[in-house]
Homo-oligomer: A and B are copies of this chain.
Amino acid sequence: MLFGKQKPENETVVGLITSALRRDIAFGELPPDKKLKIEELRMRYGGSGHSVREALTLLSAEGLVEASSQRGFRVASATQEDLEDIVRLRAQIECMALEWSLEHGDITWEGRVIAAHHSLAHAQEQVKSAPQDRALEWDAAARIFHVRLIEACGSPRLIAIQQKLYDQSRRFRLAALREGVLDFAALKVIQQSLTDAVPKRDVQLALQCLRKEIEFDLNG
């Protein structure tokens, strides 16, 4: 169980296109509500029409793309309302998962959380000075940190749900990064407290910190 088989999406053409699309949507290169025409995407990512179409189908199930019958696909819209919905849900669901993780996680899990936090702290230091260049690493590190926090919850379906919600929230966070409205100092403090609470198994503190950290996406 140490090396859980996480299927690498990069093996198949459809998987490659899906990953590329997910990234480009998250980083705003494909802005919200943009029409996604199969032909254009073929030019951009390669692959056949069918492969592109299947990737879009997949992403629409993840909520990153909206599919309207007979009228093709478009990038999911990203209104303030969407953001609030996502943040509210993430707060609830991720806290639930963290609570279960704190119940079931063993000592090696604590280690993985601390390691992930270490990487995240490092990446966050760097992204402060060079937002454009380091965004990718920071985003990846943050993602892994959140995955680690909940990966011991024991529910594969809960992990999958968190993953999807997280992917929906990335866009907003990365947009905030571009606009330079992120309070890195405060973020750092919260993440540190959160990580410290894990080995102490301080459920109350951990949940409170995680909720705050997630609600950082609401700007301010």
Find out whether the CB atom of B63 lies under 8 angstroms from the CB atom of A61: no
Instruction: Determine whether A189 belongs to the interface, using a CB cutoff of 8 Å to chain B.
Output: no
Taking CB atoms, residues of chain B closer than 8 Å to A93 are 93
Find out whether the CB atom of A157 lies under 8 angstroms from the CB atom of B63: yes
Taking CB atoms, residues of chain B closer than 8 Å to A11 are 69-70
Q: How far is the CA of A57 from the CA of B68 in the complex (A)?
A: 17
Taking CB atoms, residues of chain B closer than 8 Å to A53 are 54
Partner of A7, one of B7, B61, B69, B165: B69
- Number of A residues with CB within 8 Å of any CB on chain B: 30
Q: Which of A57-101 contact B (CB under 8 A)?
A: 57-58, 61-63, 68-70, 85-86, 88-89, 92-93, 96
Q: How far is the CA of A93 from the CA of B156 in the complex (A)?
A: 15
Q: How far is the CA of A50 from the CA of B158 in the complex (A)?
A: 30
User: Given the interface contacts A7-B69, A50-B50, A69-B7, does A156 sit within 8 Å of B61 by beta carbon?
Assistant: no
Partner of A85, one of B63, B86, B157: B157
Instruction: Determine whether A208 belongs to the interface, using a CB cutoff of 8 Å to chain B.
Output: no
Closest chain B residue to A8, Cβ basis = B69
Q: Which of A5-28 contact B (CB under 8 A)?
A: 7, 11-12, 15
Instruction: Determine whether A136 belongs to the interface, using a CB cutoff of 8 Å to chain B.
Output: no
Binding site for B on A (CB under 8 A): 7, 11-12, 15, 50, 53-54, 57-58, 61-63, 68-70, 85-86, 88-89, 92-93, 96, 155-158, 160-161, 165, 168
